[in-house]
Amino acid sequence: MMEILIAAAVGLLLSMFGTPLAIRLFSRRGYGQSIREEGPSGHHDKRGTPTMGGTVIVIAALLGFACAHLYSGTPPTPSASLVLFLMTGLGAVGFLDDFIKIYKQRSLGLRSGAKALGQLVVGAVFAILVTRFPNAYLVTPADTRLSFLRDFGPSIGIVGFTIWVLIMIVGFSNAVNLTDGLDGLASGATGVVLASYVLIGNWQLRNNCSTQLGPNCYWVRDPLDLAVVAAAVLGALLGFLWWNAPPAKIFMGDTGSLALGGVIAGLAITTRTQLLLIILAGMCVVITLSVIIQVGSFKMTGKRVFRMAPLQHHFELSGWAETTIVVRFWLIAALCAAAGLGLFYVEWMPKQ
């Protein structure tokens, strides 16, 4: 438990005090945000706000995790290392995207094909390695089965599992990216998911089959270290949110949104709660669906369902204040996470 607290505290402090340094550095170098001309008119005032703040989140989280292991004197586990690799790799893809936007002073960075290729390469490495590294009980970081509250059903095979993992990684990294449209929105929406995985990892540790064999125990390889990862990223995200809350002094950019989407997907895969993530990250899923509905409707009928997609911009154009949208969406995100945690714990309720 102390490792979880240390990871969160170090990540929080490094991000809280490191973000102002990043703001000054990025401002001096002109690393400012470009704004889409077709976007809401209120966003033009944000032009030039420093971006790529996700670098602070990633670095603070990695250092927070490292400090937790320095305290415990134990090496990082394969599960945690793979999730951090996924976060860092996708963050690097996002960094390239952000840098191109800044260098060319346009709202579009990497071409969609190049960006997707980067996500797929990082995701494929993760998918291949996550079924390796068995422990003494032959439990690997992930199994080639689908999971909800735990693994279920037959194996879908290594090829099917790799495809499924890639869908999850690309889907959720893009979902957080789409959610990152208003000051602090993505930070709050993913923060509650990370907090959920701190609790899930801790619960799986206390009811792990390797230490407490029972009918409802969990065959999860490294639950404590996965909780430490979630805590380190959560702490770093909260420190960043202090400066990213409306009105934002810095944006996380694709560096942060892709990294955060990757880390929650990685945690879902390694804690064997893949389908549960759809509920835990319900706010991000709804925002992504709004884009799919908007594009599909326009292509098929020539009409738009929303005034603008993603969904948060629809409410902006409907006259809602930005802070009102952010706070209400945070509340919805918290309710989704609470519903997901409720489903996770309901399995342990006494059956009459």
For residue 68, CA distances in Å to 65, 194, 224, 232 come to 5, 17, 11, 9
Torsion, Cα of 217, 218, 221, 226 (10° steps) = -110
Both tokens of 203, joined, read: 């619960």
Q: Which residues pair with 32 in a beta bridge?
A: 50
Q: Tokens in use for 275?
A: 């389908």
Q: Please state, in angstroms and rounded to a whole number, the distance separating the CA atoms of residues 186 and 179.
A: 5
Binding residues for Mg(2+), by number, are 177, 254
- Residues in Cβ contact with 34 at an 8 Å cutoff, skipping those fewer than 6 apart: 47, 101, 102, 105, 106, 107
Give the tokens for residue 112: 């969609």
Q: Which residues are annotated as a binding site?
A: 177, 254
Cα–Cα distance between 169 and 174 in angstroms, integer?
Answer: 8
